Structure 1
């Protein structure tokens, strides 16, 4: 089949191809009646303009990127849902750019954005904290907005929660239940939130005069499998803890699976808590006590920040979103106190 062109649209609408181009590129000085005829003709012919050709004409692609690394499927879905929610009814389209390791490929990110001719980008962790990416974006004059950064907050418009306070609150809750023998599963060391949450836990332990035992701190990667492996190591040792603080929900659910492998009941034998309030935390049993990080709302707000910059409007430099401790069934007082 012959591909429909703007010449065909113009012929049906009774205008020149140049006028069709002006209408489709939202240029001024075209009457509403002509705009309507052109759009009706384009619909009738099922004509869709070439976005790359439009980008050459306007020097804008009307495409924005979303860069993320986080391996948690629930987290990624919330990111994408939030960006797409804000783009509803807008002319901008979303290009999703997953990166296996931001730390290993930070120097290549801006080159990818340039090659894709994107107008701007939303950065999710850990890209939102990476100084190489942030500096190269600034040098390339590519606009950005950030989700959940914990460093260099004033370098670009940012949406965040207080990770330290959130982690301290959930640790305080577990300690308040009576737990003193507590293990920790850390997140990915390349994510700044890992250290922020560790600081929150440390503050809670210090306030309660509980020793932070290094042998009870296990490494993880924010994945289910890493949580499972870390908890297996924890339970294989003789001095089993009565509670586990996992730095995200995927690792917490992995820890719950390991507990069952060792014949342990949750929360009777061991309490497990997470972080994020992912879908996984709500459908596992028992349901997971966790901290709600409003990823969906943060993604909406970051996209609004980016659009405002693209349109030359005033931009809020920083929004601190509230977190929420969600008390469910996976944590209870230790059996000796129950």
Structure 2
């Protein structure tokens, strides 16, 4: 290995900065003992040399890894947004993050086992699909925090959003605009799908409206197929399981020559980055996922530091109204002579 290829060491930084190796170590660890100007000089030299601490050596020297293991579903772009918030909060609390993806060829159990083998001190499992008994078995080894799902037993922490409340605000918004012919495209076997499906049924029946639910799923193709199935009996509004499904519904309607929201209003869930795109502007129920991710990290760290046992935190979602929901076409035609539909102006974000 040539000098150009060799990884810079603590001694290289010490020699370039004109200080001892021990002092460089103090600065790199963020420990007290180095004067301000000296600390800045060492950090500048380390940056110029391209020095990075060897995390493997640190792990070998320490009895703690300070690693938080996180599982996520590789097919869910929304999870990537959550992971960004996890990374930021973990750094604030002095921890590193190790990721392990769940996919078609990689089970959730295998993803978790890999994190534990790597030395993760606690686990944050995003939208876990494992049963309660399996999750509790892992919780017997390290603290486990379930993110986005709350029915995980008494020994696993959970941080989630209130799906029933989310569906309620969605139905309230649409009925307030004058919609009564509302369809829910469900999420199939996805986490939260059953709760949102049941909540939609209850909310519609509570308003003496027929709860029409059609099969769907969490992806764009699922929404596309669901949208195609609506063509024979078109509703005035659709509440999709999530934003990706909603985008599929919208594409199906567009392909059929229909307009959103003039012909059909569409509302999603998650308030993901997809919903916020300038050319999409999808109305969506926000679970405040970045805030949930921060709470999950804090909960994992608190458990590691001995502050309390398992807790279950459920937050209230909020509706973000954009450009895909509006009064039904009948309301515009009937105008002020109708008392059945909302006819006032709509403010979009």
Pair in the same fold by TM > 0.5: yes
- Aligned CA distance change for structure 1 residues 275 and 70 (closer, same or farther; 3 Å): farther
Q: CA deviation at 1:132?
A: 5.2
Matches within 5 A, 1:109-148: 109-127=111-129, 130-131=131-132, 133-139=134-140, 141-148=141-148
Count of residues paired in the alignment:
323
Q: Distance in 2 between matches of 1:266 and 1:24?
A: 55
Q: Distance in 2 between matches of 1:20 and 1:327?
A: 53
- Aligned CA distance change for structure 1 residues 116 and 299 (closer, same or farther; 3 Å): same
Do the aligned partners of 2:127 and 2:148 also contact (CA within 8 Å) in 1? yes
Q: CA deviation at 1:25?
A: 6.7
Q: C-alpha offsets along residues 116-170 of structure 1, whole Å, 9 cap, x if unaligned?
A: 222222211135x64255223223x222323221302643222211101211221
State which drifts further: 261-270 or 325-334.
325-334
Q: Distance in 2 between matches of 1:312 and 1:184?
A: 43
Match of 2:169 in 1: 169
Do the aligned partners of 1:63 and 1:94 also contact (CA within 8 Å) in 2? yes
Q: Distance in 2 between matches of 1:3 and 1:146?
A: 39
Which ranges in structure 1 are unaligned for 5 or more consecutive residues? none
SS of 1:151 mapped into structure 2 = coil
Q: Distance in 1 between matches of 2:9 and 2:325?
A: 63
SS of 1:240 mapped into structure 2 = coil
Q: C-alpha offsets along residues 192-216 of structure 1, whole Å, 9 cap, x if unaligned?
A: x111111110111111222334xx5
Which ranges in structure 2 are unaligned for 5 or more consecutive residues? 333-349
SS of 2:52 mapped into structure 1 = coil
Q: CA deviation at 1:217?
A: 0.9
Q: TM-score, normalised by structure 2?
A: 0.79
Q: TM-score, normalised by structure 1?
A: 0.81
Match of 1:334 in 2: 328
Match of 1:68 in 2: 72
Match of 2:337 in 1: none
Pair 1:202-2:201 in alignment = yes
Q: Distance in 2 between matches of 1:10 and 1:336?
A: 76
Instruction: Give the helix-richer structure, 1 or 2.
Output: 1
- Aligned CA distance change for structure 1 residues 136 and 6 (closer, same or farther; 3 Å): farther
